[in-house]
């Protein structure tokens, strides 16, 4: 799952919020893959436009998409910067997709974050256009706001309420729990809620390799902080002394889950 940057309401509430947001992101990526796949295979009766939308493996596999050059061109055109290699587009999209569906919580690498940022932007723009054009019932069926189902919503509101009990009677203001839960229910806020920073947008200005070699990356560690396969951890040696060791994984950590 995507590790959210704003969860601080206790284990139960944070778990509800994380699962809720990640499921909405899964639905977005499912729709992207489904739309592409359906456009390629045409109108076949065994795959209905409204069927199996959340079971992609019933009509294609991640492995098959990873090697699909047409899908790479589609992803590259829609969700990645001009300077990003097309041959790496599928990895950026599909590894993000696998990360969001994983059990553990992870922070994506910069290209994956860039993909996520633009997937969210595209959905917000699409919904806003529908509402603006006056589509029938668009304010009901097409909204950036999805409420967390009960009883989970009440659990989250109570957890948000607790630290600010004395301010809870304020109808408006920063201590109103509805103000905070909106970060997770309104997708317009996901451009902040789902990101620790917006360093990924630097890829509009320079390639990933150039960014890694730049002074700005040396100062702010934009790429190293999100390099999920190479990191440092503190271990205790045989003499009882703590030491920092470099860890290198052969694959992304979400692919190593059992």
pLDDT tens per residue across span 181-229 = 999 999 999 999 999 999 999 999 998 889 889 888 888 777 877 777 7
pLDDT of residue 153: 94
Number of domain units in the chain:
1
* Measured distance between the N- and C-terminal CA atoms of the chain, rounded to whole angstroms: 15
Query: Tens of pLDDT along 218-244?
Result: 887 778 777 777 766 777 877 888 877
pLDDT of residue 165: 59
Which residues lie below 8 Å from residue 98, measured CB to CB, with a gap of 6+?
A: 62, 252, 254, 255
Query: Which candidate, 17, 15, 20, 18, places its Cα nearest to that of 2?
Result: 18
21 domain-assigned: yes
Average pLDDT across the chain, whole number: 83
Q: How far apart are alpha carbons 51 and 59 in whole angstroms? A: 10
Give the pLDDT band (50/70/90) at residue 18: very high
248 domain-assigned: no
DSSP class of 173: S
204 domain-assigned: yes
Question: Any idea which residue has 């109808």 for tokens?
Answer: 171
DSSP class of 49: T
Alpha helix stretches (DSSP H) within 42-196:
62-66, 69-79, 89-101, 110-132, 138-141, 152-161, 177-185, 190-193
- Is residue 158 helix, strand or coil? helix
Q: How far apart are alpha carbons 49 and 34 in whole angstroms? A: 9
Decide if pLDDT at 31 tops 70: yes
149 domain-assigned: yes
39 domain-assigned: yes
231 domain-assigned: no
Q: How far apart are alpha carbons 31 and 222 in whole angstroms? A: 30
Q: How far apart are alpha carbons 211 and 217 in whole angstroms? A: 6
28 domain-assigned: yes
DSSP H or E segment with residue 156: helix 152-161
Which residues lie below 8 Å from residue 156, measured CB to CB, with a gap of 6+?
A: 9, 13, 16, 17, 148, 181, 184
Q: Is the dihedral of CA 97, 71, 50, 114 positive or negative?
A: positive
238 domain-assigned: no
Q: Could you tell me the residue range of the domain that residue 186 belongs to? A: 11-219
């Amino acid at each position: 799952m995507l590790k959210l940057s704003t969860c601080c309401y206790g284990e139960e509430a944070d778990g509800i919020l994380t699962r809720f947001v990640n499921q909405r992101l899964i639905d977005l990526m499912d729709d992207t893959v489904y739309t592409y796949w359906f456009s390629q295979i045409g109108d076949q009766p065994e795959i209905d436009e409204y069927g199996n939308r959340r079971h992609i493996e019933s009509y294609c596999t991640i492995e098959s998409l990873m090697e699909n050059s047409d899908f790479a061109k589609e992803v590259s055109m829609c969700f990645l910067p001009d300077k990003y290699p097309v041959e790496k587009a599928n990895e950026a999209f599909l590894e993000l997709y696998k990360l969001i569906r994983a059990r553990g919580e992870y922070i994506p690498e910069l290209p994956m974050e860039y993909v996520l940022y633009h997937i969210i932007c595209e959905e917000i723009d699409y919904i806003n256009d529908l509402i603006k054009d006056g589509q029938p019932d668009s304010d009901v069926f097409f909204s950036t706001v999805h409420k967390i189902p009960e009883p989970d919503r009440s659990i989250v509101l109570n957890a948000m309420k607790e630290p600010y009990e004395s301010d809870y009677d304020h109808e408006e203001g920063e201590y109103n729990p509805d103000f905070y839960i909106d970060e997770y229910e309104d997708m317009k806020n996901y451009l902040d809620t789902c990101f620790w920073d917006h360093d990924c947008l630097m890829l509009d200005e320079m390639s990933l390799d150039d960014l890694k070699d730049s002074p700005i990356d040396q100062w702010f560690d934009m790429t190293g902080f999100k390099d999920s396969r190479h990191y440092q951890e503190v271990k205790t040696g045989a003499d009882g002394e703590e030491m920092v060791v470099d860890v290198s994984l052969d694959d992304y950590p979400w692919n190593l889950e059992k």
